[in-house]
Amino acid sequence: MAAAMEGFCRLAGDALDLSSPMKFLTWNDKHKLHHASLNVPERVATGFSGQGALALRELARELRRANPTWETAVTLHQVEAKLASVLRTILEAAPETETGVAAAGVAQRLLDWTVDIGSTRRHAVPIAFLPQRATRFAIGPVEFVHREDFGQADVKVGASASNANSATERHQFAMERIDKSLATRGAHWIALVTVSNREADVSVATANNAVDIALGALQAMVGTSGLNTIGRVGGRLANWDCFDTWFEMDGQTAFRRNDDPPGFAIDIGAFEKWLAEAHPARSAAGQCLHAFLAGGPFPRLNEAWCEAAYWFHEAMAEHLDTMRIARLETSLEVLLRAEKSSGSANRILAGLEAVLGIDPSTNIGVVRSVTMRELVEEMVRSRSRVLHGTWPTLTSDLPGTIPVSDLAAVVRRLIVMFAIKLEQYAANGDHKDDLAPFLTWVRGQATKRASTVVSAETK
């Protein structure tokens, strides 16, 4: 705290040029004030020197380490900015404040700040999912509902508000904003997710990430290209209702309309039947998402799965195969902890063999004959060439010959089976939260099942 206080600066008088915004910016750049505040009537600027800002950053790190819940509730930048704001306010009012007194004041105001951090929020996230209406469903804490089925009961409007009429008016205004967002992409669905113990901005980001993870899980479980373009309206979603326009050299003008909405090829009856039959997979994915939002046992394994589902969703949104294959390998690497590029292929193969029961020499090609080893090794080489600049990214061709669809099929199967086996792992005994013992346990379960089958056949 003392180092941050020593870095507090107060500049006034002729040194402060307010004749134009540009001159003030130039002045501030010259004096290098950090976390600066400007008092125009008094012609005073306050802030912290570079050393003071560094001290604030280290103090913010210490505070987050000392409060484990803050690591997910607030960002390092937010804690630093709050510290700077509180300390600056104290020193502006009383520049001679002693370190102990200032520290006590900062602690009290940070305590007040945690009240907001501890709030619970119900987020309504507009998504482009299906053009038709279907039964609402959930993947863990993320619920998907058609706009026609969404109402006040979904967000408990007015349940505890002192002024029910005011709460209803705010709900109506919120619904107008949601409808406007949906209309920009011709979308009809909303994802609902409740987030607790997060600062407001972090809560929004967490809700958006949870929806992306749930959509990635859904894409992996359904396994059809008909859901490739689904996504959050505010995320990486293409505008499907648009025209491609070009002009021929002979004076002719041509148009081509792109009007296939996300999920347009999905049969609703078949989809709702799948929802009922896929309960085990949805339950397993939901457990991982619950851990992402609220914590719980096996945080490392659950986090790895959530990151894999997120990057699978990102891969499906890519229009360039070069970028799609990079994101698909990222999905594999974060799930199987393939830290070193030199051993990445072997680690991925070991994980695939354990979870899917597929030997590296097995032919798994959809378009042409290819073994699992050939697929993984070519994927690793292709991603390396694309991301290290030895192969162009803006091309429809890949360095290798294996279709990206073959890789996507393997990744989606792994994501689904990993979640199912992780749910079983968590329910059977006191296990370690690490990939190696998890894969060992999965192999052991497969061996037990094989032994049981052999024993039954010999009787």
Taking only the tens of pLDDT, the chain with its 459 residues reads 889 888 888 887 656 666 666 766 676 677 788 898 877 777 788 889 999 999 999 999 998 888 888 888 999 999 999 999 999 999 988 888 888 888 888 888 888 887 778 789 999 999 999 999 999 999 999 999 999 999 878 876 555 555 566 777 877 888 899 999 999 888 999 999 999 999 999 999 999 999 999 999 999 999 877 888 899 998 877 666 677 787 888 878 887 777 678 888 888 999 999 998 999 999 999 999 999 999 889 999 999 999 999 999 999 999 899 999 999 999 999 999 866 656 788 899 999 999 999 999 998 877 678 899 999 999 989 888 998 888 888 988 888 888 888 899 999 999 999 999 999 999 987 899 999 999 999 999 988 876 665 555 555
Q: Are residues 14 and 144 in the same domain?
A: no
Instruction: Tell me the pTM.
Output: 0.89
Helix, strand, or coil (residue 371): strand
Structural contact between residues 375 and 328, judged by C-beta atoms closer than 8 angstroms: no
Helix, strand, or coil (residue 329): helix
Q: Are residues 227 and 216 in the same domain?
A: yes
Q: Which domain holds residue 87?
A: 2-117
Using CA atoms, how far apart are residues 405 and 365, in angstroms rounded to an integer? 10
Q: Are residues 49 and 82 in the same domain?
A: yes
Quick check: is 223 in a domain? yes
Quick check: is 284 in a domain? no
- How many CB atoms within 10 Å of residue 457? 7
Q: Are residues 108 and 186 in the same domain?
A: no
Quick check: is 380 in a domain? yes
Structural contact between residues 416 and 423, judged by C-beta atoms closer than 8 angstroms: no
Nearest to 297 by CA among 287, 305, 285, 306: 287
Structural contact between residues 197 and 73, judged by C-beta atoms closer than 8 angstroms: yes
Alpha-carbon dihedral sign for residues 343, 348, 350, 351: positive
Q: Are residues 106 and 166 in the same domain?
A: no
Single residue among 225, 248, 279 that ends a domain in this structure: 279
Nearest to 233 by CA among 179, 185, 191, 192: 185
Cα separation of the two ends of the chain: 76
Helix-, strand-, coil-residue percentages of the chain, each rounded to 5: 60, 10, 30
Single residue among 89, 117, 145 that ends a domain in this structure: 117
Quick check: is 57 in a domain? yes
State which H helix or E strand residue 196 sits in. Answer: strand 189-196
Q: Are residues 220 and 345 in the same domain?
A: no
Structure token digits, residue 42: 């008094």
Looking only at the bridges linking them, the beta strands covering 231-232 and 242-247 are unpaired
Single residue among 83, 117, 151 that ends a domain in this structure: 117
Domain total for the chain?
3
Quick check: is 220 in a domain? yes
